[in-house]
Amino acid sequence: MNFNSEFNNIAENYLFAEVAKRAGGYSAKNPDKKVLKLGIGDVTLPLVPEVVKALHEGAEEMAKAETFKGYGPYEGYEFLRLNIQNYYKQRGVTLALNEIFVSDGAKSDLGNILDIFSKDNRVLVPDPVYPVYVDTNLMAGRKIIYANATKDNGFLPMPDYKTDADIIYICSPNNPTGAAYTVAQLKEWVDYANKKGAIILYDAAYECFISDETLARSIFQVEGARTCAIEFCSFSKTAGFTGTRCGYTIVPAELGKDGFNANKMWLRRQATKFNGVPYIVQKGAAAVFTKQGLKEINENIKYYKTNAETIAKCMDSLGIWYTGGKNSPYIWLKCPDNMGSWQFFDLLLEKAQVVGTPGAGFGKNGEGYFRLTAFGSKEVTKEATERIKTLLTK
């Protein structure tokens, strides 16, 4: 027996462990000080009533022989896929039902999709980046090429035809930078991918935070995307499903090459390794799309967006450069006075008792930057930004 030695190539989960260690160490030494957390990427508001009602109904159905459900379809129940189809239709994207695959979240599918690609693909990932794209490929022994996301390109790298890539990761609105591509910018990536015979794995987990009409909510709003893209989305941030677990992946019917068809391969993969999302959870997810469900989740999204605005206003008043905050729950800021990410982390913790996430933990281009999130409560966000303002006002 030999273990997969590629695991030696992935970094220890250093970032959040180190953040917790430093914040915990500070609290232990200063028990009288209230530490405010603006570092988490998890939601804090509970599920909305319309979803909870559907979850209860689902549980009741499972309790009766006439309505009990055993194994469901691998690709998800039709009632939920119809709702997702309609959600896309509202922004002009037509999808066939068999192009929609319900999953237990975007993270699982972002990792699992790699089953349908060969090991020798060259993988292009932006830096800084959501670490899942890098680690899942390193585990499978693939080499990674990085696309530099920097202040100069607004943390939105554009294609470079001198670089040959086969699998391209794009996350928009981005975690950690909050930057989001316009439809026109994505068209350049789609053209590049079609020209190179590459595939874009498009992570739209934060699409619900977009209000600017020029920004893309789906890569399938871009002409040509159906021949080069797979899209991953989730109810986690849209409807607070981080602990309930439900997402969806769109694989166009015509996506393929050399006699291989991505849609058929993905269905085959799911049928082999996945037995579907619980019926009760899919009932809850379907309720997100009712008139009342949409009204309720939009109130929650608005709540987080107001927090993002509070943080953005604080940065504006301090003259600190940042991306995100407007069409994203993340604010990615340049550490003041050319401080390093961890230096700024320690300063905020020790002098203002505010915890954020050092940008250096997301890749080399993250050094000197810092991520704050809008997923805290309104009160914590307000107090934390006031403390930051007091600390950094010269």
Q: Is 130 in the site for ligand PLP (CB under 6 A)?
A: yes
Interface segment toward ligand PLP; rule CB under 6 A; list 26-34, 77-85, 234-242, 278-286: 234-242
Residue choice 54, 80, 102, 106 for contact with ligand PLP (CB under 6 A): 106
- Minimum CB separation of residue 277 from ligand PLP in Å reads 11
Q: Is 171 in the site for ligand PLP (CB under 6 A)?
A: yes
- Per DSSP, what are the bridge partners of residue 271? none
Residue number, 177 or 185, with CB nearest to ligand PLP? 177
Q: Is 168 in the site for ligand PLP (CB under 6 A)?
A: no
Site for ligand PLP in 246-275 (CB under 6 A): 247
- Minimum CB separation of residue 161 from ligand PLP in Å reads 26
Bond preceding residue 126 cis, omega within 30 of 0: no
Residues 6+ apart with CB under 8 A from 42: 242, 375
Q: Measured between alpha carbons, how far is 330 from 198 in angstroms, rounded to an integer?
A: 29
- Strands 123-127 and 144-148, bridge-based pairing: parallel
Residues binding ligand PLP: number (CB under 6 A): 13
Residue number, 41 or 73, with CB nearest to ligand PLP? 41
Interface segment toward ligand PLP; rule CB under 6 A; list 65-73, 89-97, 103-111, 178-186: 103-111
Q: Is 175 in the site for ligand PLP (CB under 6 A)?
A: yes
257 vs 95, 193, 227, 254, 302, CA distance in Å?
20, 13, 9, 9, 42
Residue number, 310 or 328, with CB nearest to ligand PLP? 328
Are the C-beta atoms of residues 184 and 222 closer than 8 Å to each other? no
Q: Is 205 in the site for ligand PLP (CB under 6 A)?
A: yes
Binding mask 32-71 for ligand PLP (x = CB under 6 A): ---------x------------------------------
DSSP for 301-340?
HHHHHHHHHHHHHHHHHHT--EEESSSSSEEEEEPGGG--
- Secondary structure class of 245 (helix, strand, coil): coil
- Minimum CB separation of residue 350 from ligand PLP in Å reads 28
Residue number, 107 or 226, with CB nearest to ligand PLP? 107
Query: Which of 249, 222, 215 lies closest to 235 in space, CA to CA?
Result: 249
Q: Measured between alpha carbons, how far is 283 from 151 in angstroms, rounded to an integer?
A: 43
Cβ atoms within 10 Å, residue 104: 18
Q: Is 105 in the site for ligand PLP (CB under 6 A)?
A: yes
Query: Which of 102, 146, 139, 103 lies closest to 124 in space, CA to CA?
Result: 146
Residue choice 55, 58, 107, 373 for contact with ligand PLP (CB under 6 A): 107
Q: Is 242 in the site for ligand PLP (CB under 6 A)?
A: yes
Residue number, 175 or 323, with CB nearest to ligand PLP? 175
- Per DSSP, what are the bridge partners of residue 233? 248
Q: Is 133 in the site for ligand PLP (CB under 6 A)?
A: no
Q: Is 215 in the site for ligand PLP (CB under 6 A)?
A: no
| Dihedral angle, C-alpha 84, 76, 302, 309, nearest 10 ° | -100
Q: Is 179 in the site for ligand PLP (CB under 6 A)?
A: no
Match 């989740």 to its residue by tokens: 297
Residue number, 57 or 115, with CB nearest to ligand PLP? 115
Binding mask 372-391 for ligand PLP (x = CB under 6 A): --------------------
Query: Which of 388, 157, 385, 349 lies closest to 358 in space, CA to CA?
Result: 349
Contact set with ligand PLP (CB under 6 A)? 41, 105-107, 130, 171, 175, 203, 205, 234, 236, 242, 247
